Amino acid sequence: MMYPKESNEVSSFMLHQTVISAKVGTSTFMEALAANGTTNIQTSVTGVTASKRRFIDDRRDQPFDKRLRFSVRQTESAYRYRDIVVRKQDGFTHILLSTKSSENNSLNPEVMKEVQSALNTAAADDSKLVLFSAVGSIFCCGLDFIYFIRRLTDDRKKESTKMAEAIRNFVNTFIQFKKPIIVAVNGPAIGLGASILPLCDVVWANEKAWFQTPYTTFGQSPDGCSSLTFPRIMGLASANEMLFSGRKLTAQEACAKGLVSQVFWPGTFTQEVMVRIKELVTCNSVVLEESKALVRNIMKVDLEQANEKECEVLKKIWGSAQGMDSMLKYLQRKIDEF
């Protein structure tokens, strides 16, 4: 598997789905941009919106190939969701991203709601901890750009508010979760997929995983409390390099900077994770929760405030013509590259 060598090449994962849908109406899209500019959002995307909608609707009507989920749905304890897999195991709940409504395990409100639902269930049952991972070779590519762009071009202010609220609720679920959350990062973690990691308690990474938050590249500000957690974890200089310049960290670099707890060899990654999970679930559940509370409670208010501020800024940016203009220009560049 080839990995991008430059920060701006993250589009091969993050915008794969956007480029595919845009190709349905690329010429119309480009002609509209050339004729009208990108500041007049409603006019410039009208020609491509209908094609994109038909494309997405057609895809959602197609039967889902269950082969990707077959290997993780072997027991009667598996709960079925649309975009995630949830396995209730002895002493813990395993939540895996396996998205059908988006590409590359990217996050839209539907995916985020399912993760929240699974976490809320795990919070109320006898699980001692949650293991959070993903099916496939990609952990999470952040926000779902197909879903995002399509709705923002319909009603920018209304939809930007709804998206910001979805992110706020999703992130708050991680902040407020009382049991330990262990993350197994099997591949690229981008945008919100990387920024939520410091909200979890232990992060184990596959040697082939990498981490990137290229927010300014596609006209977005930080999310997932990264404006607070990244400087605290890795220092202001390194945090700014990731949040402003979109620097990509290898798994070893992320471990050295404190974003990742341990890195394991790809061939034995799953086994290494499961051995450690089984050791953790032998601990007393009260001890695990109280230990987390001692570490986390002092930061809880700060995290909630950071999440609130970040979502307000995102809503402001997404609701503005300038913010949408930046995103469309970025998408135009990526379509040209393909």
Distances 219 to 25, 75, 149, 183, 328 between C-alpha atoms, Å: 23, 43, 12, 28, 9
Is 331 considered catalytic here?
A: no
Q: What is the dihedral of CA 163, 167, 170, 175, to 10 degrees?
A: -160
> What is the set of domains in the chain, with CATH numbers?
84-269+277-337 (3.90.226.10)
Q: Is 139 helix (H, G, I), strand (E, B) or coil?
A: coil
**CA end-to-end span of the chain:** 19
- Closest to 130 (Cα-Cα) out of 196, 211, 210: 196
Residue in 223, 243, 328, 331 annotated catalytic = 223
The more confidently predicted of residues 99 and 24 is: 99
At residue 35, the pLDDT reads: 41
Confidence (pTM): 0.79
Residue in 97, 129, 152, 192 annotated catalytic = 192
* Arithmetic mean of pLDDT, 186-195: 97
Distance CA 19, CA 338 (A): 8
Is 223 considered catalytic here?
A: yes
Is 143 considered catalytic here?
A: yes
Q: pLDDT digit string (tens) for 103-160?
A: 899 999 999 999 999 999 999 999 999 999 999 999 999 998 778 878 876 778 888 8
